[in-house]
Chains A and B, each alone.
Chain A
Amino acid sequence: MKEDTSEFVPLSTATLHILLSLAGEDRHGYGIMQEVARQSEGQYKLGPGTLYDNLQKLIERQMVQPVGRRAGEEDPRRRYYRISLLGKAVLSAEVARLEDVVREAKMRLQPAKPRRT
């Protein structure tokens, strides 16, 4: 059944990047920070405070779920996070919304073609 995602979009920049970084694979907090920096080519950097504030909200809204520690992980404090089905649906909805925005922006910013007479 299709998720009702309308109440969650639009997403904040931080939330969007976090969900995007988790879309490919499970990551721990520091991994998310690094992936966000990589995605944005260093233009957007998340601090731990912002990251975990958003993760807290995402977990609460069941868009992300903590999946505990991985076997063989060097540091037992490290916890991994996984995007849920709801999270993926919300991310898809947001991407679709952004595509609309981009399309609209392109249309409006396109220089008007001179009419042939």
Chain B
Amino acid sequence: MILRSAYVWTLRLHPRRFRQSFADEMLLIFDQVAGNHAAARLAEAKLVGDGIVSLVRQWALRSEFRCEPTVAVAALPVADGVPAFYTFGSFKPRPTALIHGLILSIAVLCAALLATRYSWNHTVHLPFPIVAREANNSSPKRESAIIPSVVAAAPYAAQSAAGSAKEVGRESGPKCSIARRKPLRLQVEPKQEQAENPAGEKTTASEQPATAATGLRLGYAKPSDTRSNSLMRNRSGFSRPQAQQPKSQDAARAMIPAVVVDVKLDAAHRKALVDRTIANLRQYYFDRDVAQKTVQALLAHEKGGDDNAVAEGGAFADLLTRQMRDASHDMHLIMEYSRERLPDHPPKQTSESLARYRKAMEQENCMFKKAEILPHSIGYLKLNFFPDTSVCQSTATTAMASLNHADAIIFDLRDNTGGFENMVALIASYLFDHPEFMYSPRGTPTEQSWTRSPVPGNRLADKPVYVLTSASTWSGAEQFSYDLKVLKRATLVGETTRGGAHAGVFHRIDDHFGVGIPEVKPINPFGTTDWEGTGVEPDVKVEAANALEIAEKLAESKLQKK
């Protein structure tokens, strides 16, 4: 990937005419030679060297080819021997004078062209605070991209709740850099998720911040693993708000047999839970000082008898969650209780489960629901999930290719529930002419955190982009929206998104309890808070149902101004 990027940059530095004529083909050859084995790496390195030599040769020795020919070569005989054009007079300047003049002219011309091109692609970035646009503000957004200087993020684990065939792929998280112990991965959700809690608790985040997040999502559960799906569907904190649940998911939940147990806690069990939680905090929490402070708080509560009155599992989990958050002020620390028995280990991905996942994705066209050209040459892509590129890359490239000639593009993420960071970066690759960092607040950045821009043959890099959002837009879809917004590459139209950003790692404590602990502190290169708990604010606030219509009008208006 690095070598490819180096090669792309080498090609981009070639003279314009050469680049326009041959860069795509040279990159195609590079892609054909590329591979993972050592020989391919060597070949790639040789091609990069060849590209550099070519670069020097084109600039130093091929000045005659750099500019578009304005005068045809004089008296060049064509097939029938008749000259196509005649020169005026017989005067011929000295060859050296011609070369010097040519080099000077080309240098001046190229400098002017470069300066012009630079001014098109770059804008001065001043650190003004981001100001959200009002609903009636339809002025066009700047489309320049600011490259962040500090980057830190983690790849997405799949995270959405599963339940229907459509959503079967959401739990696939085959590649994650944090998976060194292959723990279950959790994601914090607002307390309003508890609307479906069998205990009947209904508490909103605003009402009770200390317990504002109790929902977990398992990123490492595999797509077709019924154990994991069962776990995810039935644990009290895992489900989504009823209003946002697909009907098929409710049906699927009803079909899954669940063995549930109401755990009654005695003093010994409570002490064991607190001890194990403390051990996990000391071992895994990213900030040792805060971990120690939290541990002391838990011990103090235990010693003071604050835990003694609670015998019900869910209530005890909530109590420990509150205690940890009060001490740490970290809303991502969570004690989770499950009435079902938790699996001993996260299910492993098998070739069969991968095949099932692949088949399910193919049946759903990788969740690319619609790709079409609307009136006024506006491209429209409705994407309900960002699937893994290892399965769905070709579908994504086909969908984007079908919109390549659009003059503006609308991404409809109103029903998108997240997905894989690699697909987020792949789709975003078409929107930039240079590699751009797609921030994800989930740990350390990886190679896949960068877009693969420029995409050869792509024409969308400078086209206006609109992203439709709703209150259901979640997780990876929020990352896509957030990053394009802060990079000033897209105008967000619709509703504030759900607000699922952070993720921690789930550590099983016993059959019914587990603790979620953030292990990596994300650093936001954009210097703003991310969308955890608050959602991504749209630039143009409208009801989700009207977002497409509004976005079309905005795009149309912008295109007419051009």
Contact = CB atoms under 8 A, between A and B. Distances in A.
B243 interface: no
B50 A49 contact: yes
Interface residues of B, number: 29
The dominant DSSP class at the A interface is: helix
Contacts of B81: 1
Interface stretch (A76-84, A93-101, A102-110): A76-84
Nearest to A30: B29
18 contacts: A1-B79, A29-B22, A29-B26, A29-B28, A30-B25, A30-B29, A30-B32, A47-B54, A48-B29, A48-B50, A50-B50, A52-B18, A52-B54, A56-B18, A56-B21, A56-B65, A57-B65, A78-B28
B24 A4 contact: no
B32 A48 contact: no
Interface of B: 18, 21-22, 24-30, 32, 46-47, 50-51, 53-55, 57-58, 62, 65, 76-77, 79-81, 456-457
Contacts of B22: 29, 52, 55-56
A53 B65 CA distance: 10
B25 A49 contact: no
A73 to B, nearest CB: 11
Interface of A: 1, 3-4, 28-30, 33, 47-50, 52-53, 55-57, 60, 62, 75-79, 85-86
Contacts of A1: 79-81
Contacts, number: 70
A78 B80 CA distance: 32
A49 B54 contact: yes
Contact of B25 (A3, A52, A53, A85): A52
Contacts of B79: 1, 3, 85-86
A1 B78 CA distance: 11
A113 B442 CA distance: 85
Contacts of B53: 47, 49
Given A53-B58, A56-B21, A47 B32 contact: no
Sorted nearest first, the 8 A-B pairs with minimum C-beta distance are A49-B54, A47-B50, A52-B22, A77-B24, A48-B26, A49-B50, A29-B25, A77-B28
Contacts of A53: 54, 57-58, 62
Contacts of B58: 53
